[in-house]
Amino acid sequence: MKARLLPVLLALASVATITTSPARAENADACAAAHRAAQKDRRDRRLVRAREALLVCGQQSCPSLIRRDCADWLVAIEREMPTLVIEPRDENGALVTGARATIDGAPAAALDGKALPIDPGEHVVRVEATGRAPVETHTVVMEGTQAQRLAVVLPVADTRADPAGPPAGPGPADERPKSKGPILITAGLATIGVAGLAMFTGFGLAGSSDRSDLEASGCAPACDPAAVDAMWTKFTIADVSLGIGVVALGAAVVHYLLTR
């Protein structure tokens, strides 16, 4: 009877070995991958991710050599990894309940007074709560520091702002002074330019008339000094008026082109 059962038992054992070998090989590969990832993350000081990988390769189903390394490293990680306690407070210093925090853009975590495991280094912490304006702050977490505290004051949200969207742009009444200003400046410069040219024409004609009168009287070169001075004064005013008119008209054209 025993001789007949022996081949059956051997066959069943072979089937069990063949069935479980792929599963064991797959689990060993996962353990080895977690073992490698934990080493890299610990070297880069990403201690939170290293701790997650060590929990995988430290399972009883992993090979003993890998499991022993992961268990030793996990003890060191727990000693090196800092924790952060975020305290949301109002203007009076009282704790705000129901607040949430986002660290470096990760999914938001509820702030219930517990210490949060975090990597050492600089982090961006965003805290928000219902009815209060969100606050974003930068903080530096020291390696090995447990329960490092970060107090964040959350101001009351401004309910006067329109939740439907940004405030409307300026209306016609607001735009009118802005649109008239450049036009008035251009018109003023043009007026000065036209006036300058008009004075140039008037005083130039008057000076030319005085010169014609003096030449017709035949008093040269002993003409009345007062009459001669009056003639040259009119010519000087005409020249100055011409310069002012040309400059003003040129400035009007440039200002108009720039404001366009």
pLDDT, tens digit, 9 for 90 and up, residues 75-91: 999 999 999 999 999 99
The answer to whether position 167 is within a domain reads: no
Q: What is the pLDDT of residue 168?
A: 56
Cis peptide before 221 (omega within 30 of 0): yes
Residue 210 within any structural domain of the chain = yes
Specify whether the CB–CB gap between 256 and 218 falls below 8 A: no
Residues 58, 87 share a domain: no
With respect to residue 65, please indicate whether it lies within any of the assigned structural domains.
yes
Res 218: pLDDT: 75
Nearest to 109 by CA among 133, 81, 95, 88: 88
Judge whether 172 lies within some domain: no
Cα(25)–Cα(214) distance, rounded to whole angstroms? 124
Last residue of a domain, one of 59, 80, 101: 80
- Give me the torsion for CA of 37, 41, 43, 47, rounded to 10°: -140
Q: Which two tokens stand for residue 165?
A: 């969207």
Please give the pLDDT value at position 26: 76
Residue 71 shares a structural domain with residue 91: no
In a domain, 9, yes or no: no
Within a domain: residue 204? yes
Q: Which of 63, 80, 97 is the last residue of a domain?
A: 80
Distance in angstroms between the alpha carbons of the first and the last residue of the chain: 110
Residues of the chain falling short of pLDDT 50: 1-3, 5-6, 8-21, 175
- Whether 220 is in a domain gets the answer yes
Q: Do 34 and 95 lie in a common domain?
A: no
Q: Identify whether residues 65 and 89 lie together within a single domain.
A: no
CATH of residue 128's domain is 2.60.40.1120
The residues near 139 (Cβ < 8 Å, ≥ 6 apart) are 84, 122, 123, 125, 150
Domain coverage including residue 206 = 178-259
On whether both 95 and 141 belong to a single domain, the answer is yes
DSSP 258: H
Answer whether residue 159 is part of any domain: no
Q: How many domains does the chain have?
A: 3
